[in-house]
Amino acid sequence: VTRATDSSSEQTSSRELLVDLSGAPRGGLGLELQRRLRDAIRSGRLRADAALPSTRALAADLGVSRSVVVLAYEQLGAEGYLITRRGAAARVAAVHPPAAAAPPRRHAPEPARPVAVDFRPGTADLASFPRAEWERAIRRSLAELPDAALGYGDSRGLPRLREALADYLGRVRGAIVAPDHLVVVNGLAQGLAVVARLFRRRGIDAVGVEDPGSFHTASQLEVNGLDTVGVPVDRDGVDADRLFRQAAGDARHAVAGPLRAVLATPAHQFPTGVILGAARRRRLLAWADLVDGYVVEDDYDAEYRYDHQPVATLQGLAPDRVLLGGSTSKTLAPGLRLGWLVVPPHLAAEAARHKHHIDLMTPVLEQAAFAELLASGGYERHIRRNRARYRRRRDRLLELLADHLPEATVSGEAAGMHLYVETPTVDEAAVVAEAARRGLLVSGIADYRKAPGPAGFVLAYGHLGPDQLRRGVQMLAGVVREGTSGS
Ligand SMILES: Cc1ncc(COP(=O)(O)O)c(C=O)c1O
């Protein structure tokens, strides 16, 4: 119990303390005094080591009973704000003032103008998110999930979601999936964190990545401790022969020994949009056998194929060599952070352990709602609706490009949500910068390359209505003309 004495000559008076209880409710004086003293100490108004007035003096000054002050000093002593010793004045303890908030960091430079059109790839049409169906699925899940399901569960994910996903991936993507070999993850980004851990444990510390390719997925491997090595992409997809040559010790491509893993987007290469040819598929798997390695298959927007049925997964050809990753980022919304990783059976237990160590498990209500959407057929209905919508937008963008940028070579139109537009005579960086100044956000191909190559742009259309598409292409063509007319 604290009893500060009245004797110390250096003691602060209540006026110096700047504690004023006027306006405080009579019944809450004690709590209010504690709060104001605490604030004064935190803000630095009361400096470390300053001696407080005696309980008697402060009570008299404030017009409260002494027990109110005694209790406040005791409480702040217990919390570490005051140092209290019997027979001595209570002193202010050294506390760390809160650091000034750092200015928020921006991921990308803000354009000088308001954004008129954003052609950058990476997202579904968020306006078409099936809100009503998702709400119903969440309600039903809340009603049906037993209490136990809200606890720490299986790190691989809710059994009913793993079963529904195994069925969906088998039926729609031609994959060979047992629910026990599938881990629900927070987007492919986290799937790749699991992959990186699996690889490092096997002495694989470099992964081949497509060039051009996704810097998102490559950097996910890099931040998880792996080197990435560019493997060229041509009209047939990732060049498996380069991997064979690299395995045979071609010095130009040798890193620290032969590669044993490659990350690829066979269904629709990002960003060129080419589909990995049948012969290349076999070659890639033959290479994986040769080096006793793995292919990581990023099935990122396989659902959107416009000319004929989507090509089935590589994983279905070699479930022991291929790790298949996918997510709802391109079908529902990236903000859900819901994805899956299917691993060969001999890696399944370890993959579950890595997921457990990363974050124990993926949020369970979202998993249950997604399982509900898969089981009800709502997920596939949503994809069908969006496929028709994206196809119309793709057709419109192709027409606009033919009218306004006829010199461009367009590819990747058979699938996905973006076009790959090559314009070799254009100063890509200058156009991207000038377009941004005018409020048109566009990605140059250079953003996705490791090795140099022809100039051009990646134009996403899935999230843009007809007016925005027209305005965007007109603006882009305007900047291209101005940039090339003077040269
Ligand atoms: C090539 C590619 N694959 C997959 C994804 C999806 O990643 P996530 O599932 O973590 O949202 C992206 C994201 O932009 C991507 O560019």
Taking only the tens place, the pLDDT of each residue in 438-484 is: 999 999 999 999 898 999 999 999 999 999 999 999 999 999 999 75
**What number does the ligand 1 atom closest to the CA of 214 have?**
1
**Against a cut of 0.85, is the pTM above it?**
no
Does 487 have pLDDT greater than 60?
no
Confidence (pLDDT) at 87: 85
Say which range, 175-184, 249-258, 474-483, has the weakest mean pLDDT.
Answer: 249-258
Give the separation between CA 106 and CA 102, rounded to whole angstroms: 12
Give the separation between CA 445 and CA 428, rounded to whole angstroms: 8
Nearest to 232 by CA among 245, 222, 219, 216: 245
Does 212 have pLDDT greater than 60?
yes
**122 CA distance to ligand 1 middle (Å):** 7
**What number does the ligand 1 atom closest to the CA of 298 have?**
3
**Mean confidence (pLDDT) of the chain:** 91
Name residue 206's beta-bridge partners: 227
The residue nearest atom 3 of ligand 1, judged by CA position, is 300
The residue nearest atom 16 of ligand 1, judged by CA position, is 214
Q: Span 153-161, mean pLDDT?
A: 97
Q: Read off the tokens for 188.
A: 């492919």
Q: Span 126-142, mean pLDDT?
A: 97
Query: What single-letter DSSP state applies at residue 326?
Result: E
**26 CA distance to ligand 1 middle (Å):** 59
Does 339 have pLDDT greater than 60?
yes
Name the amino acid, one letter, at 155.
Answer: S
Q: CB under 6 Å to ligand 1: residues?
A: 122, 187-189, 214, 216-217, 265, 270, 298, 300, 327, 329, 334, 339
Say which range, 206-210, 248-252, 443-447, 479-483, has the weakest mean pLDDT.
Answer: 248-252
**132 CA distance to ligand 1 middle (Å):** 25
- When mean pLDDT is compared over 52-61, 219-228, 445-454, the highest value belongs to 219-228
Confidence (pLDDT) at 6: 42
Contacts of 38 (CB under 8 A, 6+ apart): 76, 79, 81
Confidence of residue 297 (pLDDT cuts 50, 70, 90): very high
